[in-house]
Amino acid sequence: MNWGLFFDLTVSGLTLGSLYALIALGYSMVYGILKLLNFAHGDVYMVGAFLGWYALHALGGPLNPTFTGAVVLLLMFIVAMLGCGVLGVAIERFAYRPLRNAPRIAPLISALGVSIFLQNSALLIFGAAFRDYNTFALIGVKTYSIGQLFFSVPQLLTVVTAIGLMIALTVFVARSRLGKAMRSTSFDREAASMMGIDVDRVISVTFFIGSALAGAAGVMFALVFGQIYHFMGFIAGLKGFTAAVLGGIGSIPGAMVGGLIVGLAESYATGYLPQGSTFQNLYVFALLILVILIRPSGLFGRAAISKV
Amino acid sequence: MDQPPDTPRIGVDEWVASVEGKRERYTGVRGAVLQRWERLPPAARVLVFAVPAAVFPFVTSEGNLFRFGLFTLVYALLALGLNIVVGFAGLLDLGYVAFFGCGAYLYAILASPQFGYHWQAEAAIPVVVLGTAIVGLLVGLPSRRLLGDYLAILTLFFGQAFVVFVNNANRISFPFFGHVDLTGGSNGIANIDPFNFFGFKIDTTRKQYYLLLIAVALVLILLAFVNESRTGRAWRALREDPLAAEVMSIPVNRLKLLAFVFGAGVAGLTGAIYGTIATAALPGDYDVGLLITIYAIMILGGFGSIMGIVVGAVIVSSVPELLRSSANARPLFYGAILIAILVKLRPWRLLAAELGGLVAFGFAIHAVASAAYPRLVHGQSIGSGLFARGLDHWMLFPSNSVKIADVAYILLVAAIVMYPQLGRLWRAVLLPPLLYLVMFVWENLLLVQIGGATRLILLGAMLVALMNIRPQGLFGTATVEIV
């Protein structure tokens, strides 16, 4: 067995996987509370990548940044996460909240509308050309190795940041008062509002956190892969959703594990399966169908009990 | 029997009673038209659409027939098929366009120089429809166990997978046949034969138009029969409440699958026809843009309303075509804004004050800008004519409009999101500046890119707005939620 290739694929799979996991978290949290497929989530991720790009260029660009690389990176993440969080809250307020008691299909259509609106607004403003982060100029080209395991700085940064964000989220949901309110809202919205929980506020916070994570993922994607464009959110959103479904939608640890599985599967498919680089998405699709056939509620999901 | 006014009437469902009340409230011109319309027999209602559609080719040019007629009918057919899946059975099928593509590619394989087959249409069409239906069955089978939302994502993925597949299926090697160029890759399959029914070739635009019209009529008749059948009733029942339907021993899963396959079949038929119109099957034609368009048609018309779909198809296919040129786009846009204001601002004094405020605001801004920052008024509006030249004296046209317009666009989106949160007074005061901002962005950004992103932006915004105002669509009836 070629261990070098295996390690390479694993590293890139983990990198991709942590991006998908961050996107999946947003889907999963929103779905857990509103039972809504937020199709616009992938486009929020795209907006995050562009916000990061603008922040980078507002700070002098990758070639002669105003501060050292680390500070610039931090500011990029802050701008992208805050901007996307606000965007997510606005989307919820404007497109989903008025439809909370409408037939189930109405918010889905509204989400589709928001998605196409964001995509084409980005096309209008950013243009159709690819933008480049030029990560090499910003934080260097150095590659580290442990034995045959090679990884670059952006890859390491992505995995570590993603893990950090996920731990922070887990602690927030498990320990804080607001996290508790989120859990109870997702368990039973009506009962939660009767217990004096401000459900609207909890939903806003959920959208803020989910969208901020997507924004962070957008910046990370751009750091690792360099190029961003207006249509990048669509396929990433699809993969993120696949990850959320794989892990069991509505479950936070499920979204993380699901993301890693999808990322690794895509990476291994690229390397090992016939014509993997063209058909990688088909292989991920097949994996999704397989998991759904065996465990319809996902790996970590509970079977839904519906009462009349 | 006398009853106190506030108690509900015994034996009459409250919702049914309120519908009758609504019907009685039809007043004015709209009420008269609606009442007339509801009294018409169904056959006469069909004639209202059928006669203009049949006459259309004789009053317009070949190019217009192609741009407006053919595409409207293709969209209408697609939306009718999707309506079975979404409107009747309540499944959110986001891979629908892939079945359309399947139909086009299957027909292209059977009747083009790609493999040298040149099948007659009477043999090829059943094969294409059946083949697409089988694909639909295969996609639908794993989703049988799924909840509605999972189906959405599965089908969305399938749609993507289809595009990836046809883009790359020119280098697949099969176990027994060796290397086969199945779909021509990104070049697609060109030179598709026109339909050939027993030697009668459908090769002119006008013939294609009538063929499509016949197809629409056939599907409509089929739908009318299905609607009255056991299956149609069962579909509607399970759309309203799957659980109750299952309790009534309706085989929910089988019926859902049937609806899915039925929709796929209609899409396949449409795909084959579209293939002959375009004379080529290209992977780019079957992507998300078309999916959104079809959904917009169905939603505009209203779920489950067949008449609504026809109207929706006419609107959605012709408005973007008209929007292609700025000469048409401008009156449409300002007309829509004016109508919205006329409908929304009720006491005429308020309306007059807002419009006057808007005009005054424009002149004031223009005067301040030309005095302080002359660069802001150096540009010119697009187009010619009195209106465009008049705008030059009222609207700001920065000489380097791109960057300012981008910022203004983001500001506008933020302003529109914030606007409904304001109090009444503030909304009244801030309406003229908001309208001015809308017009500024329109003139400086959207009108410039009218051929590209603008149309889809307007489509997306329309979807969101429509869902906010009327979740059941223009012609749909609100479903009753019983708690």
According to the model, what pLDDT value does residue B483 have?
40
* Nearest CB partner across the interface for B471, out of A102, A117, A119: A102
In this complex, do B457 and A117 lie within 8 Å of one another by their Cβ atoms?
Answer: yes
Q: Which of residues 229-288 of A touch B (CB under 8 A)?
A: 234-235, 238, 241-242, 245, 275, 278-279, 281-282, 285, 288
Distance in angstroms (rounded) separating the CA atoms of residues B130 and B351: 58
Q: For residue A203, what are the CA distances in angstroms to A230, B17, B158, B409? A: 27, 36, 31, 27
Chain A contact for B161, CB < 8 A? yes
- The greatest distance separating any two alpha carbons of chain B, rounded to the nearest whole angstrom, comes to 85
In this complex, do A106 and B471 lie within 8 Å of one another by their Cβ atoms?
Answer: yes
Residue of A296, A288, A256 lying closest to A269 (CA atoms): A288
In this complex, do A121 and B303 lie within 8 Å of one another by their Cβ atoms?
Answer: no
- On average, the pLDDT of chain B sits at 79
State the pLDDT confidence band at B371, using cuts at 50, 70 and 90.
Answer: confident
User: Which of B246, B409, B457, B467 to substitute to test the interface with A, most A CBs within 10 Å?
Assistant: B467
Judged by average pLDDT, the poorest of B43-47, B134-138, B154-158 is B43-47
Packing angle of the helix pair B401-418, B424-441 (nearest 10 deg): 150
User: Which of the two residues, B37 and B404, has the higher pLDDT score?
Assistant: B404
Mean pLDDT of B243-271: 88
State the pLDDT confidence band at B148, using cuts at 50, 70 and 90.
Answer: low
In this complex, do B152 and A292 lie within 8 Å of one another by their Cβ atoms?
Answer: no
- What are the two backbone dihedrals, phi and then psi, of residue A91, each rounded to the nearest 5 degrees? -60, -45
**CA dihedral sign, ordered B262, B266, B272, B274:** negative
Residue B15 has pLDDT above 60, yes or no: no
User: Which of A30, A54, A112 to substitute to test the interface with B, most B CBs within 10 Å?
Assistant: A112
Residue B401 has pLDDT above 70, yes or no: no
State the pLDDT confidence band at B381, using cuts at 50, 70 and 90.
Answer: confident
Residue of B295, B261, B238, B281 lying closest to B134 (CA atoms): B261
Q: Count A/B contacts: CB-CB distance under 8 Å.
A: 142
What's the CATH number for A3-294?
A: 1.10.3470
Distance in angstroms (rounded) separating the CA atoms of residues B413 and B397: 20
According to the model, what pLDDT value does residue A219 have?
93
Q: What is the pLDDT of residues A274-287, one digit of tens each?
A: 777 777 888 887 88
In this complex, do B459 and A116 lie within 8 Å of one another by their Cβ atoms?
Answer: yes
* Nearest CB partner across the interface for B292, out of A103, A116, A288: A116
Q: Which residue of A has its CA nearest to B480?
A: A103
According to the model, what pLDDT value does residue A18 have?
93
* Nearest CB partner across the interface for A93, out of B147, B417, B467: B417
According to the model, what pLDDT value does residue A308 have?
46
In this complex, do B152 and A37 lie within 8 Å of one another by their Cβ atoms?
Answer: yes
**What share of chain B in percent tops pLDDT 70?**
85
Mean pLDDT of B369-393: 75
User: How close, in Å, is residue B210 to chain A by CA atoms?
Assistant: 33
A143, two tokens: 């590659």
**What share of chain B in percent tops pLDDT 90?**
8
**CA dihedral sign, ordered B183, B185, B186, B191:** negative
Mean pLDDT of B104-116: 85
Judged by average pLDDT, the poorest of A36-45, B442-451, B472-481 is B472-481
B479 contacts in A (CB within 8 Å)?
103
According to the model, what pLDDT value does residue B482 have?
45
B123, two tokens: 């043999």
According to the model, what pLDDT value does residue A306 have?
53
User: Which of A57, A96, A120, A302 to substitute to test the interface with B, most B CBs within 10 Å?
Assistant: A120
Q: How many CB atoms lie within 10 A of CB A137?
A: 15
User: Which of the two residues, A3 and A174, has the higher pLDDT score?
Assistant: A174
Mean pLDDT of A246-268: 89
A45, two tokens: 């991720």
Q: What is the pLDDT of residues A60-75, one digit of tens each?
A: 777 777 777 788 889 9
User: How close, in Å, is residue A146 to chain B by CA atoms?
Assistant: 37
The answer for residues whose C-beta is within 8 angstroms of residue A233's C-beta and 6 or more apart is: A42, A43, A44, A45, A46, A47, A115, A118, A119
Model-level ipTM above the cut of 0.85: no
A99 contacts in B (CB within 8 Å)?
467-468, 471
**What share of chain A in percent tops pLDDT 70?**
96
3-class state of residue A22 by DSSP: helix
Distance in angstroms (rounded) separating the CA atoms of residues B220 and B305: 12
Residue A289 has pLDDT above 50, yes or no: yes
Judged by average pLDDT, the poorest of A34-43, A156-165, B143-152, B183-192 is B143-152
Total-model pTM: 0.83
State the pLDDT confidence band at B481, using cuts at 50, 70 and 90.
Answer: very low
Q: Scanning the structure block, which residue is given the tokens 């459908």?
A: B202
Q: What is the pLDDT of residues A121-180, one digit of tens each?
A: 998 888 888 888 877 777 766 777 777 778 888 888 889 999 999 999 999 998 999 999
Mean pLDDT of B170-179: 67
Chain A contact for B411, CB < 8 A? no
Q: What is the pLDDT of residues B30-76, one digit of tens each?
A: 667 767 777 777 677 777 777 777 777 777 777 777 777 888 889 98
* Residues B22-31: contacts with CB under 8 Å, at least 24 apart: none
Chain B contact for A137, CB < 8 A? no
State the pLDDT confidence band at B118, using cuts at 50, 70 and 90.
Answer: confident
Residue of A70, A289, A297 lying closest to B158 (CA atoms): A289
User: Which of B138, B149, B418 to substitute to test the interface with A, most A CBs within 10 Å?
Assistant: B149
Asked whether A79 and A51 are in contact (CB, 8 A), the reply is: yes
Q: Are strands B200-202 and B195-197 parallel, antiparallel or unpaired?
A: antiparallel
* Nearest CB partner across the interface for B156, out of A116, A238, A304: A238
User: Which of B150, B154, B483 to substitute to test the interface with A, most A CBs within 10 Å?
Assistant: B150
Residue B175 has pLDDT above 60, yes or no: yes
- Mean pLDDT comparison of A70-79, A80-89, B59-68, B251-260, highest-scoring range: A80-89
In this complex, do A245 and B303 lie within 8 Å of one another by their Cβ atoms?
Answer: no
- What are the two backbone dihedrals, phi and then psi, of residue B179, each rounded to the nearest 5 degrees? -80, 125
* Nearest CB partner across the interface for A296, out of B145, B299, B462: B145
Give the start-end residues of each E strand in B37-119.
none
Residue B122 has pLDDT above 80, yes or no: yes
User: Which residue ranges make up each domain of chain A?
Assistant: 3-294
